[in-house]
Amino acid sequence: NAGVTQTPKFQVLKTGQSMTLQCAQDMNHEYMSWYRQDPGMGLRLIHYSVGAGITDQGEVPNGYNVSRSTTEDFPLRLLSAAPSQTSVYFCATTGPRRTEAFFGQGTRLTVV
Amino acid sequence: GQQLNQSPQSMFIQEGEDVSMNCTSSSIFNTWLWYKQDPGEGPVLLIALYKAGELTSNGRLTAQFGITRKDSFLNISASIPSDVGIYFCAGRDGNKLVFGAGTILRVKS
């Protein structure tokens, strides 16, 4: 049982490039979310999904797109990478009680 | 948006000492969570609190959900080197979790 799997673990992009961060879960949870973690700022919610076909914006959605075609997968797309998007990105799922969140190991993204 | 004020920002303590950290908010939360993050890893849930006034323990960790529902604290007793890491509080707001900025714990053995 892998839980929440994120790929890649590390990525370097040039400004203006696009890419997709992958997140897959095998916990059959409806709720999935993406956070970014920056020094001294904790985790900030980018986008979330309460089930397949449903997504919504979090606190810092600009520059990111998401889709949720299956329960298992919740990819995060950077449309045109900017240095301000250099961060560590975490995907999380939440069980039926909508309380405890289970996190992946993170993707460390650097935009140069 | 909502903000959680977590303090202290960092702590440097002797092994064996007790540790206390807390989170306060201007908004009410119905659930408080405490997470620990090790270097290079994602946060891992330590304790979940669901009712105002609730006091819950997990080994050497004890956390309480404030009566006003606007605060929570986490205590670690008899700290050991593996307690090193970043501790986050989080409050649940509907479908979303709001996180504090974290407390960095460093233990001197």
Contact A98 B1 (CB under 8 A): no
Query: Can you spell out the DSSP letters for B27-93?
Result: S--S-EEEEEE-TTS--EEEEEE-STT-EEEETTEEEEE-TTSSEEEEEE-S--GGG-EEEEEEEEE
Q: What is the pLDDT of residues B1-31, one digit of tens each?
A: 567 899 999 999 899 999 999 999 999 998 9
Contact (CB<8Å) A48/B1? no
Pairing of strands A107-111, A10-13: parallel
Q: From the list B90, B96, B101, which residue is nearest A41 (CB)?
A: B101
Interchain proximity A58–B96, CB inside 8 Å: yes
pLDDT class of A98 with cuts at 50, 70, 90: low
Residue-level pLDDT at B1: 58
Element containing residue B20 per DSSP (H, E): strand B19-25
Q: A51: pLDDT confidence band, cut at 50, 70 and 90?
A: very high
DSSP state of A83: G
pLDDT at B95 (0 to 100): 75
**pLDDT recorded at residue B2:** 64
pLDDT of residue B46: 95
Give the separation between CA B22 and CA B7, rounded to whole angstroms: 6
CB contact under 8 A, A45 and B50: no
Residues above pLDDT 70, as percent of chain B = 97
Residue B77 has pLDDT above 90, yes or no: yes
Which among B42, B99, B101 has the least Cβ separation from residue A104? B42
Give A108's pLDDT tier (boundaries 50, 70, 90).
very high
Residue pair B88/A43 in contact (Cβ under 8 Å)? The answer is yes
pLDDT in tens, B44-53: 999 999 999 9
User: Chain A: nearest CA to B22, how far in angstroms?
Assistant: 15
